[in-house]
Amino acid sequence: MGARVLLVEDEANILEAISFLLSRDGWEVHGHGNGGTALETIARLKPDVVVLDVMLPGRSGLDILRDLRADPATERLPVLMLTAKGQAKDRDMALALGANAYLTKPFSNAEMLETLRHVADPDGDPSSTGSTP
Amino acid sequence: MLSFDGLVAVCIVYVAGLFWVAFWVEKRASEGRARWLNSPLVYTLSLSIYTTAWTFYGAVGSAARSGLEFMTIYLGPTLVFIGWFWLLRKLVRIGRAQRITSIADMISSRYGKSGGLAALVTVLAVIGTTPYIALQLQSVTLSFSVFARPGALGAPDAESTAIWVAGGLALFTIVFGTRSLDVNERHPGLVSAIALEAVVKLFALLAVGAFVVWGVASGPADILARVEESSMADWKSNGARWVGITMLSAAAIVCLPRMFQVLVVENSDERHLATASWAFPLYLFLMSLFVIPIAVVGLQQMPAGANPDLFVLTLPLELGQGGLALLAFLGGFSAATSMVIVAALALSTMVSNHIIVPLWMRATEGENPMSGDMRRVALMARRLSIGGVLALGLIYYRLSGGTEALASIGLIAFLGVAQVLPALLGGLFWRGATRAGAAAGIGVGFLIWGWVLLVPNAATAGLMQGVLENGPFGIAWLRPATPLGLDGTDPLLTAMVMSLGANTFAFILGSLVTFPSPMERLMGAQFVNVYDHSQAPLAWKGSAGTADDLLTMAQRILGAGRAARLFREAAAGQGRQTQLPEPTPDFLEQLERELAGSVGAATANAMVGQITGGASVSVRDLLAVADETAQMMEYSSQLEAKSAELAQTAARLREANQKLTELSVQKDAFLSQISHELRTPMTSIRAFSEILMQGDALDAAGRQRFSRIIHDESLRLTRLLDDLLDLSVLEDGRVSLNMADTTLGDVLDRAENATSALEEGARLTIRRDKGAEDVPLWTDADRLAQVFINLISNAQKYCDAEAPELTISVHRLPGRVEVEFADNGSGIPPRQHSLIFEKFARADTAREAPGAGLGLAISREIMQRLGGGLTLVPGQSGATFRVRLPARALRAA
């Protein structure tokens, strides 16, 4: 079984597309559509890596990231941020808050997979499918 | 019998005494300790310069020749002081208020600061006074020669005596008249010396008189008997001449430059005039008391042919009273010197102020007139003038060759200066008097006087003998001695009537035919109405008081600290122990400069002048002050307007900037939102199309599902772009409305049909009251339906009730109709009420529903275009929107 990834994304179609992509790549994929309850889901599922959308109903992805980094249990949890806003200041903000990587929608599937692998295992063989931190 | 050398020694001692008194008083006054100087008696005694050597010696001579006629010389001033006291008071008040320095200054000030008029009066005064000074020199020389009888040892050279006397007087006047350029033109030392001389001459005359009445005769009764015996009792008095000379002497008391000097310029307190109004006539009375007895006894005792003009002196000598004679000599000496000193002072002030300084200023135009250099020039001009005036007197004395009839020269001089009278009186009481009138009057009177009286009197050297006898160019009626062919009348009376008559006529005529300049009008009003303008007179304070006042003023303008420092440093610089410096010209100049920095030069000059009582606050100063003030006010109001304008501009800029910032923020947010709304469907489309492109490991169902998603997302993109364009058109106001007749019910039907076709439509129950919907409308039915569709579909998407319901109710109100859409969901959180009409806004609860969040923004825009409105109704359990249709949308049913 591959590494476990949690996708926090409110757009059902995008969630479905990424889930399909990652599952096919061997990830154990979990989806979550609400910002307000994302932290509980993370605590319950203990994913190896989180793909986090910025614009979420309930709670913004940036707020969730801040909480993750403030919690010792999750401060080193790899996070890949997604945003549709495409402005430099959003990316800077996300990286400053401790995101491991950042992708602007729309992205190519290959870009998505490669970035996620790298986030999950920065030192590893790019071809491997991540490991437990 | 006193030797000539002894006499000279006595004179020198006497003059030295005068110097000492003057020095001592100046010193006391500068220390502010000369309170007694402020006595009205000193003022009254100083007025006694009216009684010169001419009256001291000449009155007895006149009495011996013409009986009581000498009384007229005393009568005129007495009448003025008692009867015309109000005239003198007005003169003094104006003199103080306008800081008048001389009679020429007075006339020129009244007629608009006319330099030409001042120069004219000055020339007149010099010509009128020069014979008078010559007269005094002559009297002194004569009295000297009396003591040095012919044949006596060391017989005096009369001419060298005159030179010595003139030189000594010049020195005294220069020393005490021009010690500094005393801004207030008062000379306490000089005035005190004059007062002392007044006492000496009165005492001398009384002593001689008492000796004559009780020493020679045996009392007043004996004198009266002797008068009856003498030829004096037979002399008929000439009524016209009496009236004439009385009037002339009355005019002289205000017009003579030296009298104006002591009466007005040297006056330190207006109240002194009240004392003088009785004390001065008393003085004149005492001076005249023994004139007749001396004359009568002299005529009896002295050898025939003796000069009666010298009886005062020769009678005691003849009777062996050497001491009394010496006293009489000193009295006459005092009378002569005091007159010459004050006359020289007054004339030099005029000559330097109105002739030399204006010429010098014209020559050095453009330089600062307040500089110390200018003060030195003025001082030097004054000194040169004193020397010049005395030299003129001396020259006149030598040329006239010592005429015996002293009194006639005095009267001629009187009439000369009396030419100023019409212009002076007219100026004081008639606002219509003008400069041209004054100049014409003075000029005409002056010419007549000069031709009829002065020329015959002066031209004795034979130069103009032909003119005297035949008239100029042989025209007989222009012959000076018999003008207009008048012969046998009194030349003085003729000249007086002619000159003053023509003078007055020219003055009035000139004033009537010319218009006064603004400056003349202003000064005329200030002179004529002086009591309305000037403050009650204040006594002249000592210099300590002045420094105090200056400090007070400086503190107001410079601030207490700076003023105190300035004064302290100045005092230290003068080597004084106190905090207050002597108000020297240097210090005043420095103070003025300091003040000028704050209030402007003219104002500073006027303020300092106001306190020191000097630098005469002239109308020109006042106008300059007014100009400065006006400029400052204009400047400051300009500044104020500018600053208000700037403040407004700044406020507008801030507002504009805020608006721009807001717009920029809004634009950023809008672009960010559009980016998000566009990128989101594109993300799905790209991801699924890449999956499809790879084509591996996908069954048919999967391919179809992914294609379907791509298709839906493409439609979503299209819808979004449609909405954006729609909103853009609506916001720009470029939308075209298709107004038509319809009913509310029809539009609602269309909206309900359109929404029920949608997937979500199935769940929502719509409740309508079709009966109430029969409202005819004049509107764009498509646009109104778009709004209704948006509201219904919102309820379909966001109503979170188990059994969602939407109630559409219609309320007909006066002038409008309202349609409410109320659902039974949990409603919109209050904090989001203000947001939901914004573009891309979606309530949190609506987050998961599809849609770009432009619907309500578009609906509100549409309703505004249709002349109505769309609002959220707060305080309802569910979400309730109210559509308002305006009155003009209603059609009469």
Q: Does A97 contact chain B (CB < 8 Å)?
A: no
Q: Do B847 and A18 touch (CB under 8 A)?
A: no
Distance, in angstroms, between A113 CA and closest chain B CA? 12
Chain A contacts of B712, Cβ < 8 Å?
A: 13
Look at the alpha carbons of B845, B846, B848, B854 in this order and tell me if their dihedral is positive or negative. negative
- What are the C-alpha distances in Å from B594 to residues B262, B412, B589? 35, 52, 9
Q: Does A17 contact chain B (CB < 8 Å)?
A: yes
Q: Does A85 contact chain B (CB < 8 Å)?
A: yes
Q: Do B680 and A85 touch (CB under 8 A)?
A: no
Chain A contacts of B680, Cβ < 8 Å?
A: 11, 14, 84, 105
Q: Report the pLDDT value the prediction gives residue B475, as an integer from 0 to 100.
A: 53
Q: Which pair of tokens denotes residue A108?
A: 């190519």
Q: Report the pLDDT value the prediction gives residue B538, as an integer from 0 to 100.
A: 36
Q: Is B809 helix (H, G, I), strand (E, B) or coil?
A: strand
B98 vs A1, more confident:
B98
For chain B, which ranges sit under pLDDT 50?
150-155, 183, 368-372, 405, 460-467, 473, 485-487, 534-544, 614-616, 843-850, 889-893
Q: Does A31 contact chain B (CB < 8 Å)?
A: no
Q: Do A86 and B679 touch (CB under 8 A)?
A: yes
Q: Report the pLDDT value the prediction gives residue B890, as an integer from 0 to 100.
A: 47
Minimal CA–CA distance to B96: which of B617, B847, B857?
B617
Per-residue pLDDT of B508-527, as tens digits, reads: 998 888 877 767 777 777 77
Q: Do A18 and B687 touch (CB under 8 A)?
A: yes
Q: Do B675 and A10 touch (CB under 8 A)?
A: no
Q: Do A11 and B691 touch (CB under 8 A)?
A: no
Q: Which pair of tokens denotes residue B84?
A: 């015309």
Q: Report the pLDDT value the prediction gives residue B152, as an integer from 0 to 100.
A: 44
Distance separating alpha carbons of residues B507 and B419, to the nearest angstrom:
11
Given a cut of 70, is residue A110 above it in pLDDT? yes
Q: Do A20 and B691 touch (CB under 8 A)?
A: yes
Distance separating alpha carbons of residues B570 and B579, to the nearest angstrom:
9
Per-residue pLDDT of A20-33, as tens digits, reads: 999 988 999 999 98
Q: Does A105 contact chain B (CB < 8 Å)?
A: yes
Q: Report the pLDDT value the prediction gives residue B254, as an integer from 0 to 100.
A: 86
**How many Cβ pairs within 8 Å bridge chains A and B?**
70
Q: Report the pLDDT value the prediction gives residue A85, as an integer from 0 to 100.
A: 75
Cβ–Cβ < 8 Å for B148, B317: no
**How are the residues of chain B apportioned to helix, strand and coil, as percentages rounded to the nearest 5?**
75, 5, 25
Distance separating alpha carbons of residues B202 and B199, to the nearest angstrom:
5
Phi, psi of B24, rounded to the nearest 5 degrees:
-60, -45
Q: Which of B679, B710, B711 should be substituted to probe chain A, the one whose Cβ sees the most A Cβ atoms within 10 Å?
A: B679
pTM of the model: 0.54
Averaged pLDDT for residues A97-115? 91
Q: Does A57 contact chain B (CB < 8 Å)?
A: yes
Q: Does B832 contact chain A (CB < 8 Å)?
A: no
* Mode of pairing for the β-strands spanning A28-32 and A4-8: parallel
- Domain spans of chain B, in order of start: 4-433+516-533, 543-617, 625-727, 737-889
Q: Report the pLDDT value the prediction gives residue B371, as an integer from 0 to 100.
A: 47
Chain A contacts of B681, Cβ < 8 Å?
A: 13
- Are domains B4-433+516-533 and B625-727 of this chain identical in fold? no
Q: Report the pLDDT value the prediction gives residue B599, as an integer from 0 to 100.
A: 62
Q: Does B682 contact chain A (CB < 8 Å)?
A: yes
This model of the complex carries an ipTM of 0.90
Tell me which residue in A13, A24, A55 faces B684 most closely, judged by beta carbons.
Answer: A13
**What's the CATH superfamily of B4-433+516-533?**
Sodium/glucose cotransporter (1.20.1730.10)
Chain B contacts of A108, Cβ < 8 Å?
A: 686, 690
Q: Report the pLDDT value the prediction gives residue B158, as an integer from 0 to 100.
A: 59
- In CATH, the number for domain B625-727 is 1.10.287.130
Phi, psi of B464, rounded to the nearest 5 degrees:
-110, 25
Minimal CA–CA distance to B338: which of B54, B612, B548, B604?
B54
Q: Report the pLDDT value the prediction gives residue B514, as an integer from 0 to 100.
A: 83
Q: Is the peptide bond before A106 cis (omega within 30 degrees of 0)?
A: yes
**What's the CATH superfamily of B737-889?**
Histidine kinase-like ATPase, C-terminal domain (3.30.565.10)
